[in-house]
Amino acid sequence: MKVRWSALVSLLGVALVMGLWVEHCSGPQPHVVGAPLLRPPAQAGQPYQVEVVVANPGPGQGQVQVTFRLRETSTGLAYQSQEQADLESGEQVRVVSEIAAPEGSYQPEVEVRYPPG
């Protein structure tokens, strides 16, 4: 019975430490909200702008890496840029990136990663 009690207390201790760790030492759990918005250049020679909303529903905070891609629909060739964003717990941020690409028909793709590479 004594051993069972100590095992139970140990398990509760481990669960408490795990809970505190997740609560205070976690990084963000980012994900992209909705579809990315593609803005074509206002004038020829200017870059495209891709805009996305990144949300962090998790309890942690930290820096995330957002990778933007413009994929040419006809050839599949991609132009890419990267941005860093700092996310607080429960926060949503709008991240905008400029990609220099020739005029064409593009499909925007956005990927968010944590931890940043």
Partner 1 sequence: MGDLARRFLKEPGADDAAHYARRVRRLAVSYVALFALSIIGIAILIWRAQFFVTLAQRSNVETLTLAFLMVLFGYLASLSAPGTWGAFQILRRSRARDWTERQHRLTHGRHPVPGNRTVADLNVLIEVEGSPGQPFDVLVADAAGAMGRLHVDGARLTYRSEYGEGSNEVLAYVERQVEQLVRADGSDADVDIVIWKKIDDEGAERYHGLVEFARNLERKLGDGALWPRVVLTPADVAELERRLTAVCTSLRKEAYLPHWDYQAEHKLPIIPEPLGLITLSRSQERVDPASSMGGAIVVVFSVLAILVVFIIAPPWVPGT
The residues binding partner 1 (CB under 8 A) are 18, 21-22, 25-27, 29, 58-63, 84, 86, 113-117
Nearer to partner 1, 21 or 107 (CB): 21
d(CA 54, CA 77) in angstroms, rounded, equals 25
Nearer to partner 1, 29 or 81 (CB): 29
Nearer to partner 1, 9 or 22 (CB): 22
Min dist CB 44 to partner 1, Å, is 34
Q: Which helix (H) or strand (E) holds 25?
A: helix 2-25
**How many whole angstroms from its chain centre is CA 104?**
27
* Contact by Cβ (8 Å): 55, 102: no
